């Protein structure tokens, strides 16, 4: 059953359906959209200028001092209250897809799945500005997590074509200092019990080497390969540490 409600107070669309209709077989990919309460299809045909399928602007016009108050431009919540042995729940999925067998996008033409900015646009300072805030909050109390369970604040997956048609550079995470002096490339804040490991390397592969049990610099236990310009350097790790 599908029903749509237009509220007399605030615009509202409600979809309550048991429809199994799916376009595509896997919601992980852009070809699958499933059923929907609202669908917008926009087609841009102008060579110049920009186009948005949805353009939302939310203004704050009052000074605030209460914790928890504020304005959110777009808020998306996906809630599951049923047992799931497979499948996925996405609060949001953003895919920028180039779909052409012959036409190419040049290096100057960016294909970006998601962009987030904290933009201080005037003389007044925003003392806390965060471009992207990602994390997890766990309140599970019933039973233990199964073997292999995972909670990750951010996951970056990299998937080059196995055929070997790869770009000049392929990077999992890029920290780009576009202007000015940046204090830290990476900042680790221990406000709780701290992190058990700073890094967890699943295995020795690529730029991660293990070699022997000798703790001298000539026979390090572990090496991390770093590239400075075009010259490789190595960070050496030991299996024991004398404080």
Per residue in 167-220, pLDDT tens? Answer: 888 999 999 999 999 999 999 998 888 899 889 998 888 888 887 767 676 777
pLDDT per position as a tens digit, 131-174: 999 999 999 988 889 889 999 999 999 988 887 788 888 999 99
DSSP 235: E
Question: Residues 237, 208: contact at Cβ < 8 Å?
Answer: no
Around Cβ 33, how many Cβ atoms within 10 Å? 13
Q: Rounded to whole angstroms, how far apart are CA atoms 239 and 187?
A: 25
Residue 3: pLDDT band (50, 70, 90) is low
- Dihedral sign for Cα 169, 173, 179, 182, please: negative
Residue 57: pLDDT band (50, 70, 90) is very high
Q: Rounded to whole angstroms, how far apart are CA atoms 35 and 17?
A: 9
**H or E element: which one contains 234?**
strand 231-237
pLDDT per position as a tens digit, 59-114: 999 999 999 999 999 999 999 999 999 888 899 989 899 999 899 999 999 999 99
pTM of this prediction exceeds 0.85: no
SS (H, E, C) 149-206: CCCCCCCCCCCCCCCCCCCCCCCCCCCCCCCCCCCCCCCCCCCCCCCCCCCCCCCCCC
Tokens, residue 26: 């896997």
């Amino acid at each position: 059953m599908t029903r749509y409600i237009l509220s007399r107070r605030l615009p509202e669309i409600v979809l309550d359906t048991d429809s199994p209709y799916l376009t595509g077989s896997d919601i992980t990919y852009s070809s699958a959209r499933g059923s929907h309460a609202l669908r917008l299809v926009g087609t841009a045909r102008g060579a110049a200028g920009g186009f948005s399928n949805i353009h939302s602007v939310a203004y704050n016009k009052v000074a605030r001092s209460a914790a928890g108050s504020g304005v959110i431009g777009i808020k998306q919540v996906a809630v599951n209250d049923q047992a799931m042995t497979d499948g996925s729940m996405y609060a949001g999925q953003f895919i920028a897809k180039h779909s052409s067998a012959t036409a190419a996008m040049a290096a100057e033409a960016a294909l970006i799945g998601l962009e987030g900015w904290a933009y201080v646009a005037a003389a007044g300072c925003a003392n806390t500005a965060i471009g992207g805030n990602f994390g997890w909050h766990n309140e599970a109390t019933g039973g233990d997590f199964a073997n292999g369970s995972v909670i990750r604040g951010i996951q970056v997956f990299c998937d080059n074509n196995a055929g070997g048609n790869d770009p000049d550079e392929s990077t999992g995470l890029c920290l780009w200092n576009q202007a000015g002096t940046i204090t830290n490339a990476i900042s680790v804040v221990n406000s709780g019990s701290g992190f058990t490991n700073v890094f967890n390397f699943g295995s020795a592969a690529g730029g991660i080497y293990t070699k022997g049990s000798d703790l001298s610099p000539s026979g390090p236990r572990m090496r991390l390969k770093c590239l400075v310009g075009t010259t490789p350097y190595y960070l050496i790790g030991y299996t024991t540490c004398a404080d």
